[in-house]
Amino acid sequence: MAMLSVKDLQVYYGSIHAIKGVSFEVNEGEIVTLIGANGAGKTTTLHAICGLVKAKAGEITFCGQNLRTTDPHKIIRLGLAQVPEGRRIFARMTVQENLEMGAYIRKDKSGIDEDYESVFKRLPRLKERRKQIAGTLSGGEQQMLAIGRALMARPKMLLLDEPSMGLSPLLVNEIFEIIHDVNRSGVTVLLVEQNAKKALSIANRAYVLETGTISMSGDADTLSRDEKVRKAYLGG
Ligand code: ATP
């Protein structure tokens, strides 16, 4: 059984039919990427999974639980953590406090302390800046913090919405290396990206979203060699 399964998802914003029957699956251990142009419906799909927008129809299950009938704040407790578009860190809090917020659902103090250490080990720049006000971090550091904060919930699966947004190519490489590394440590990943080249380079499988429908899917290597994908998403 897939860890996350989305079947025939339909989402409307008023009369705008934003998601028109999207289906996909993410299996335990995978990195799956949802690629697509601006406005294709990537963020809406993630928001529907997390309960931030209401689906009109379709099935969304995570580890056997129906997410459509699960309160959004309970979804994190099932082991599904998100790294939202634009990071959404708490700008006036310190790095350390942001990480603490990520662990707010947990009570296992010793486990939390272990996870601080593992987050700081994976993201040493956060350790150096643990007392710094998060709003003064660079864009790349804020993205690292958003990832670190999500990891503090000890998730089974991480949902990432355009982690490359607004970052220099060097930092994009660094962030993708971190995501790959997090996956190798046992966290399943659903990655939404406009940067199809980078996303396909670390993903096992991919789905192409076009104006609210899945137009293509397959393993990431095959898709990155596909003529249509190359022309539309990889700059020829
Ligand atoms: P981007 O990369 O720009 O975030 P996306 O692929 O994530 O693009 P969505 O943000 O999911 O796309 O948008 C899908 C469609 O739904 C677009 O046509 C968008 O204009 C529309 N849409 C998104 N949010 C709203 C909203 N709150 N109200 C009305 N329409 C919306």
CB atoms < 10 A from the CB of 151, how many? 24
Give the closest residue (by CA) to ligand 1 atom 17: 39
Between CA 120 and CA 194 the distance in angstroms is 28
Nearest atom in ligand 1 to 14's CA: 29
pLDDT in tens, 96-136: 999 999 888 888 888 888 989 999 999 999 999 999 999 99
Strands 65-66 and 80-83 turn out to be unpaired
Q: What ipTM, to 2 d.p.?
A: 0.90
Our mutation pick for probing the ligand 1 site, out of 34, 42, 44, 52, counting the most ligand atoms within 8 A of Cβ, is 44
What is the CA(84)–ligand 1 centre distance, in A? 14
**What is the C-alpha separation between 150 and 125, in angstroms, rounded?**
16
The confidence score (pLDDT) of residue 236 equals 67
- Residues 117-142 as b/e (b if ≥16 CB within 10 A, e otherwise) read eebbebbebbbebeeeebeebeebbb
Q: Taking the CB of residue 42, how many other CB atoms lie within 10 A of it?
A: 24
Ligand 1: atom nearest CA of 16 is 30
Q: Which amino acid type is present at position 16?
A: I
Hey, what domains does the chain have and what are their CATH numbers?
4-233 (3.40.50.300)
**Confidence at residue 234, expressed as pLDDT on a 0 to 100 scale:** 87
Task: Tell me the mean pLDDT in the region 151-173.
Answer: 94
Q: Three-state SS for 68?
A: helix
Average pLDDT, the chain: 94
Are 31 and 180 a contacting pair, CB within 8 Å?
yes
Asked if 90 and 48 touch (Cβ cutoff 8 Å), the reply is: no
- Can you give the pLDDT at residue 107? 84
Q: Which residues line ligand 1 (CB under 6 A)?
A: 13, 16, 18, 36, 38-44, 194
